[in-house]
Amino acid sequence: MGIQTWLILLGVVSMTLIVWDGGRRKRKRLVAGVTREAPLPASALSEPVAEAARVEPPAFVRLPQDPEGSRIGMATRVTGSLTARELVVVKGSIEGAVIAQDHPVMVTMSGSVSAYLEGLQVSIDGHVAGMIKAADKVTLLSRACVKGTVEAGHLECIAGARIRGEVMPFGGLPLVAGTKAEPGLPCPLHSC
């Protein structure tokens, strides 16, 4: 065999080992539950980095790969009432009531609900207009735009969330909520 054949054979063996090792490392990370974060762009490396508090969304917001429950897709528009005895994820638009009394309800950034929203835990990253009730907690994520009344045992607002209306703790008097002191991004579907 010539030198070229040996070099080609060596290259094929090297590539096979690299691919095999990458697969092994990926399986090892999946078993450990560790995800790989995306690298920073080169422009971010040249600027000074300030330490910032990292805000993690609540546990019920992180959905498994294939969650059990009802999903309203982005291209779906529902007019009327939705009652569920399971997790509800709204990516589309619902005009009416969404009720999942003993289960979490999540409105994603593309989701929109108008009228009434009720669940054990309610997480909003989209637009909601009307009454929101949660037996446990309402979480307003950074892109949430809420107009109406919020009634919950606990209210969690992530920076950037906007609310206009009343906030009512269970058994308490309403608190009036207004707009943010600093200008934020406009709500594309509804004005808050």
pLDDT digits (tens, 9 = 90+) for 156-166: 999 999 999 99
Question: What is the pLDDT averaged over residues 39-46?
Answer: 48
Q: What is the pTM of this model?
A: 0.59
Alpha helices, DSSP H only, in 38-189?
42-46
**Contacts by 161-165, CB closer than 8 A, 24 or more apart:** 161/124, 162/187, 162/192, 163/192, 164/192
Please state, in angstroms and rounded to a whole number, the distance separating the CA atoms of residues 94 and 169.
25
Res 73 pLDDT > 60: yes
Q: Which tens digit of pLDDT belongs to each residue from 127-151?
A: 999 999 999 999 999 999 999 999 9
Beta bridge partners of 106: 89, 123
Question: What is the pLDDT averaged over residues 65-71?
Answer: 71
Q: Which of residues 179 and 119 earns the better pLDDT score?
A: 119
Least confident of 23-27, 54-58, 89-93, 106-110: 54-58
pLDDT of residue 19: 85
Burial code (b: 16+ CB inside 10 Å, e: under 16) for 59-96 equals ebeeeeeeeebbbbeeeeeeeeebeeeebbbbbbbbee
What is the residue extent of each domain of the chain? 1-33, 62-177
Residue 6 pLDDT grade (very low, low, confident, very high; cuts 50, 70, 90): confident
The residue assigned the tokens 């779906």 is 76
Please state, in angstroms and rounded to a whole number, the distance separating the CA atoms of residues 13 and 11.
5
Cβ contact 117:132 at 8 Å: yes
